[in-house]
């Protein structure tokens, strides 16, 4: 019977058939920065800021691009309106009420004058007196209005006890206070303003909500268990909190953020506008009997979330023409504070700060889903660099892994060979592994990182013996086959024989970095190290770095070394270490290569202490020449690669070549690797010649 198959989109997580995340271009970008003298942490931070390089080398979607979007959003908010718009709106409503009241007073005065004239004609003295009294009251009210302070807040306060003639004007005044109150309430709790706008019944509901909220926060401040009280509060007043807080702490964070935005709004206004707005809000709250509850709420927030009130960057300057109400203004300022925090996170300037510190939800809220996905891709890039074994160690001690170092060396060597082919000097991409050691007939267990060939017979024998030991006597045994496990692998041992003892001495003095010679020097050393490790693994290779003192270095240490302001070029110490290295391999072809940009200016004294002097002292020259002569007596040729145009170095190198018979090269920076690798290949094959200069 035929089987029926159904096919559909994979919905069980990541696509199992998707190609692995390719981070090699990112590794190359990190390697270039590290070669130029930057720390790996700085290089990784810049990679995340600029974005991972694409196939054509372009950068796409780094943290800097996200920060630019944050900057544009901030500018958009600042142009959205006028922070003092609530004062402008209050002034307009007050002017409307006063205009209506004055018109009513004028009409009342005219009516009173007409009544008074008619009463006098009719001989009605009482009627005339009453009409005259109405006219006098209208005139007095006019005078009272004319005497109102020019400042809106003071005028509103004095009108609290005013006996309005026009019902429409009085209603406009009450609407002014109600709108201020609603905006102030919405600035703190978005749902409160709507409740307060529903007349006296809604106002009582607002008072009840504020009372219950203050009781909840007071209990929380005393350290009581408020879980049940919070649930009851949200069941009763949850509509006033569209953010949907899950507990009291989230509720506090929401309230404190809005209160901090209100405080930031006050700081952003002029002194006069700030005083007027505060007075208007106090008048509006006092008029509704909410002043005590609002004050209590503010105090709870100050006590429970004091840190929230330093949030933001001080005064903000809005340049929009559209007046913003209190709630809109505080909402815009709260969003600005979010954007400021987000910008700080994306900058990653703090010690130990990384992508894990960036709020992805804030990115999505402020910049959209695309920006959040962009951030997730950067985080995935950082994770993949570690997961795929390119980077090792904790964030504070991040290092390039041996795998990454091999890639850097391979890339550098490929570039060298490309240069060799382009200059028609022949291809040196040798397939053989050099003079391999003779097989001894023994084997050892395979260990991670071993590159020696496997002993197939020993590997299969170990697998069979392990399988036989673990199977029960009643099993069908060998018909099930033998499965190879990593612990079964055996490596064939060989007798190790070196064909060359190579010492590469590289100058690490500050001038190498200052004159842009740092990266070519590192790339050359990495290329040569990779060539030796892959093509001539039996060569004894050592890197010696020198500034005021010299020291042997692994490829990982060389890749990670950063330029330091250290004076001194101690070639004497470097040659001493090189001589010690080649002397350990008497049967190997000695190869000593020196890359430097300055004449010797330091040496080790008899006590082993480094001594620096500029200009070069006779003692430094004497001790350095002594090491050259010692190598010459041991028939070790020193080939020197000069970088720069230092006349003192050139004179010294010429003198050293005459005494030692070595070669002196003066390559350009872009051909340094080509010269060093070519000379190594020539020297290890016994082709070193005693000549004075090559270029």
Residues 55-90 as b/e (b if ≥16 CB within 10 A, e otherwise) read eeeeeebbbbbbbebbeebbeebbebbbbbbbbebb
The mean pLDDT value for 139-159 works out to 78
Q: Greater confidence, 157 or 318?
A: 157
Is 124 in the same domain as 251? yes
pLDDT band at 510 (very low <50, low <70, confident <90, very high): confident
Cβ(327)–Cβ(190) under 8 Å?
yes
* Confidence at residue 581, expressed as pLDDT on a 0 to 100 scale: 92
Instruction: List the CATH number of the domain containing 675.
Output: 3.40.50.410
Could you tell me how far CA 334 lies from the centroid of its own chain?
23
Is 232 in the same domain as 370? no
* Confidence at residue 694, expressed as pLDDT on a 0 to 100 scale: 41
Is 622 in the same domain as 676? yes
Is 475 in the same domain as 619? no
The mean pLDDT value for 415-435 works out to 48
User: Across the chain, what does the average pLDDT equal?
Assistant: 76
First CA to last CA across the chain, in angstroms? Answer: 79
Closest CA to 293 of 188, 179, 176, 153: 188
Is 166 in the same domain as 46? no
Q: pLDDT tens-digit profile of 228-272?
A: 898 888 888 888 887 788 888 888 888 887 777 777 766 666 677
Is 272 in the same domain as 127? yes
pLDDT band at 504 (very low <50, low <70, confident <90, very high): very high
In a domain, 7, yes or no: no
Cβ(233)–Cβ(212) under 8 Å?
yes
Residue 319 predicted with pLDDT over 80: no
* Confidence at residue 431, expressed as pLDDT on a 0 to 100 scale: 32
Is 136 in the same domain as 186? yes
Q: pLDDT tens-digit profile of 266-288?
A: 666 667 766 766 777 777 677 66
Q: Greater confidence, 543 or 63?
A: 543
Q: pLDDT tens-digit profile of 377-424?
A: 888 777 778 877 778 777 667 777 777 777 877 777 777 766 655 554
- Cβ-proximal residues to 620 (8 Å cutoff; 6+ apart), any chain: 572, 600, 601, 602, 603, 611, 613
* Confidence at residue 86, expressed as pLDDT on a 0 to 100 scale: 67
Q: How far apart are CA 481 and CA 462, in angstroms?
A: 14
Residue 207 predicted with pLDDT over 60: yes
In a domain, 217, yes or no: yes
pLDDT band at 85 (very low <50, low <70, confident <90, very high): low
In a domain, 434, yes or no: no
Cβ(379)–Cβ(373) under 8 Å?
no
In a domain, 322, yes or no: no
Is 290 in the same domain as 357? no
Residue 64 predicted with pLDDT over 60: yes
Strand 490-494 relative to strand 439-445: parallel, antiparallel, unpaired? antiparallel
pLDDT band at 531 (very low <50, low <70, confident <90, very high): confident
* Confidence at residue 580, expressed as pLDDT on a 0 to 100 scale: 92
Where does residue 255 rank: exposed (0-12), middle (13-18), buried (19+ CB within 10 A)? buried
Q: Which domain holds residue 636?
A: 500-684
| Domain's final residue, options 477, 494, 511 | 494
In a domain, 690, yes or no: no
In a domain, 11, yes or no: no
pLDDT band at 692 (very low <50, low <70, confident <90, very high): very low
Q: How far apart are CA 93 and CA 99, in angstroms?
A: 10
Is 653 in the same domain as 505? yes
Is 309 in the same domain as 346? no
C-alpha torsion 358→362→367→370, nearest 10: 70
Tokens of 131: 């009409």
What pTM does this model have?
Answer: 0.55
| Domain's final residue, options 447, 463, 494 | 494
Cβ(586)–Cβ(632) under 8 Å?
no
Residue 174 predicted with pLDDT over 60: yes
Is 135 in the same domain as 277? yes
Tokens of 363: 């990115």
Q: How many CA atoms lie within 13 A of 266 on its CB side?
A: 16
- Cβ-proximal residues to 464 (8 Å cutoff; 6+ apart), any chain: 482
Residue 196 predicted with pLDDT over 60: no
pLDDT band at 495 (very low <50, low <70, confident <90, very high): low
Q: Greater confidence, 540 or 400?
A: 540
Residue 318 predicted with pLDDT over 70: no
Is 239 in the same domain as 156? yes
* Confidence at residue 434, expressed as pLDDT on a 0 to 100 scale: 35
- Cβ-proximal residues to 447 (8 Å cutoff; 6+ apart), any chain: 491
Q: Which residues pair with 551 in a beta bridge?
A: 545
Residue 195 predicted with pLDDT over 50: no
Tokens of 457: 């017979």
Q: How far apart are CA 56 and CA 23, in angstroms?
A: 14
Residues 461-496 as b/e (b if ≥16 CB within 10 A, e otherwise) read ebbeebbeeeeeeeeeeeeeeeeeeeebbbbbebee
Residue 305 predicted with pLDDT over 70: yes
In a domain, 370, yes or no: yes
The mean pLDDT value for 296-314 works out to 70
Element (H, E) at 410: helix 402-422
Q: Domains in the chain: how many in total?
A: 4
Tokens of 151: 């400042």
Q: pLDDT tens-digit profile of 602-658?
A: 888 888 788 888 888 888 888 888 889 998 988 888 888 888 788 888 888 888 888
- Cβ-proximal residues to 344 (8 Å cutoff; 6+ apart), any chain: 350
Q: Is the peptide bond before 615 cis (omega within 30 degrees of 0)?
A: yes
In a domain, 606, yes or no: yes
């Amino acid at each position: 019977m035929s089987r029926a198959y159904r096919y559909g989109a994979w919905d069980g997580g990541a696509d199992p058939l998707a190609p692995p995340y390719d981070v090699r271009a990112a590794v190359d970008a990190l390697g270039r920065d590290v070669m130029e003298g930057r720390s790996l942490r700085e290089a990784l931070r810049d990679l995340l800021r600029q974005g991972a390089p694409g196939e054509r080398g372009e950068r796409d979607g780094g943290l800097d691009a996200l920060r630019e979007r944050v900057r544009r959003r901030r500018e958009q908010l600042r142009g959205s309106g006028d922070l003092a718009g609530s004062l402008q709106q209050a002034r307009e409503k007050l002017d409307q009420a006063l205009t209506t009241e004055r018109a009513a007073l004028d009409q009342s005065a005219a009516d009173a004058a007409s009544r008074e004239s008619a009463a006098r004609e009719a001989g009605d003295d009482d009627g005339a007196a009453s009409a005259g009294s109405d006219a006098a009251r209208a005139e007095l009210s006019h005078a009272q209005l004319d005497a109102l302070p020019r400042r809106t807040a003071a005028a509103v306060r004095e009108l609290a006890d005013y006996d309005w003639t026009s019902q429409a004007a009085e209603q406009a005044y009450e609407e002014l206070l109600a709108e201020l109150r609603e905006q102030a309430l919405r600035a703190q709790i978005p749902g409160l303003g709507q409740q307060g706008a529903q007349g006296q019944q809604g106002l009582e509901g607002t008072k009840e909500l504020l009372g219950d909220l203050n009781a909840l926060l007071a209990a929380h401040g005393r350290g009581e268990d408020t879980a049940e009280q919070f649930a009851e509060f949200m069941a009763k007043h949850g509509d006033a909190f569209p953010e949907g807080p899950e507990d009291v702490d989230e509720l506090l964070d929401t309230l404190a953020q809005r209160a901090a935005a209100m405080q930031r709004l006050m700081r952003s206004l002029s002194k006069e506008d700030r005083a007027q707005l505060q007075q208007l809000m106090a008048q509006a709250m006092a008029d509704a009997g909410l002043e005590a509850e609002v004050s209590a709420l503010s105090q709870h927030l100050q006590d429970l979330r004091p840190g929230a009130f330093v949030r933001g960057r001080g005064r903000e300057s809005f340049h929009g023409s559209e007046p913003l109400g209190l709630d809109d203004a505080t909402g815009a300022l709260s969003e600005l504070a979010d954007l400021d925090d987000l910008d700080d996170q994306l900058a990653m300037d703090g010690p130990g700060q990384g992508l894990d510190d960036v709020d992805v939800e804030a990115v999505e809220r402020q910049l959209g889903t695309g920006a959040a996905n962009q951030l997730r891709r950067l985080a995935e890039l950082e994770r993949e660099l570690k997961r795929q074994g390119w980077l090792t160690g904790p964030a504070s001690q991040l290092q390039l892994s041996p795998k990454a170092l091999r890639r850097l060396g391979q890339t550098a060597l490929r570039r060298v060979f490309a240069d060799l082919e382009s200059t028609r000097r022949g291809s040196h991409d040798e397939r053989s592994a050099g003079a391999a050691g003779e097989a001894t007939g023994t084997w050892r267990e395979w260990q991670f990182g071993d590159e020696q060939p496997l002993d197939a017979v020993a590997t299969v024998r170990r697998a069979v013996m392990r399988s036989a030991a673990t199977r029960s006597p009643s099993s069908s045994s060998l018909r099930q086959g033998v499965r190879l496990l990593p612990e079964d692998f055996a490596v064939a041992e060989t007798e190790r024989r070196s064909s060359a003892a190579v010492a590469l001495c590289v100058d690490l003095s500050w001038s190498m970095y200052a004159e842009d010679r740092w990266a070519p020097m590192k790339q050359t050393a990495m290329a040569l190290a990779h060539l030796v490790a892959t093509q001539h693994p039996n060569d004894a290779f050592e890197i010696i770095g020198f500034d005021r003192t010299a020291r042997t270095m692994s490829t990982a240490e060389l890749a990670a070394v950063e330029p330091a302001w250290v004076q001194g070029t101690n070639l004497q110490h470097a040659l001493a270490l090189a001589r010690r290295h080649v002397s350990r391999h008497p049967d190997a072809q000695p190869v000593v290569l020196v890359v430097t940009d300055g004449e010797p200016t330091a040496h080790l004294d008899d006590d082993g202490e480094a001594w620096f002097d500029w200009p070069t002292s006779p003692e430094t020259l004497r001790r350095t020449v002594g090491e050259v002569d010692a190598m010459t007596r041991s028939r070790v040729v020193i080939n020197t690669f000069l970088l720069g145009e230092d006349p003192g170095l050139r004179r010294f190198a010429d003198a050293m070549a005459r005494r030692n018979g070595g070669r002196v090269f003066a390559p350009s920076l872009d051909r340094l690797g080509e010269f060093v690798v070519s000379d190594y290949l020539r020297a290890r094959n016994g082709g070193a010649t005693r000549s004075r200069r090559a270029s």
